[in-house]
């Protein structure tokens, strides 16, 4: 029986997006044949009887689906912004995040790593 070595491929590129109680990770990985794919992971910190754990949901996105995925995502977000909530200021979240980052960096530098924040199973 084959073990799990190599199934969780090393990231080639990684981008983290903190969004309230959630953190999203966009990671580029490679296959054994040097083909590339994207994983999108939603991570949420949860509390259980004996302490905290991280609940994760992952999507694998392959290169042949990149354009279809991006088009559907842009159309869907555009529909919400333009048709369902045209008066809503979606940029307010960027302003709040920028202000929080500025306030934090003015006080003292924050150092952390992804490994400190997430405990991968």
- Report all structural domains of the chain as residue ranges with CATH numbers, in order of start: 11-117 (3.10.450.700)
Band (pLDDT 50/70/90 cuts) for residue 114 is very low
18-50 pLDDT, tens digit per residue, is 988 899 999 999 988 989 999 999 999 888 888
The CA distance from 101 to 109, in Å, is 10
Q: What is the pLDDT, as a whole number, of residue 77?
A: 96
Average pLDDT rounded to a whole number, residues 1-15: 65
Q: Tell me phi and psi for residue 21, to 5 degrees.
A: -85, -5
Q: What is the CA radius of gyration of the chain?
A: 18
Place of tokens 């990149």: 66
| pLDDT value at 66 more than 80 | yes
The answer to whether the CB of 58 falls within 8 A of the CB of 75 is: no
The CA distance from 118 to 115, in Å, is 5
Give the SS3 label for residue 2.
coil
């Amino acid at each position: 029986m084959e073990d799990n070595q190599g199934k969780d491929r090393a990231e080639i590129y990684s981008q983290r997006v903190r969004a309230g109680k959630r953190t999203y990770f966009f990671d580029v990985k490679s296959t054994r044949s040097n083909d590339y794919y994207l994983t999108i992971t939603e991570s949420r910190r949860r509390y259980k009887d004996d302490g905290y754990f991280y609940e994760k949901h992952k999507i694998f996105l392959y290169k042949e689906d990149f354009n279809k995925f991006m088009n559907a995502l842009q159309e869907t977000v555009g529909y919400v912004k333009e048709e369902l909530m045209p008066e809503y200021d979606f940029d307010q979240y960027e302003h709040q995040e920028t202000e929080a980052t500025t306030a934090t960096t003015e006080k003292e530098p924050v150092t952390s790593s992804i490994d400190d924040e997430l405990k991968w199973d």
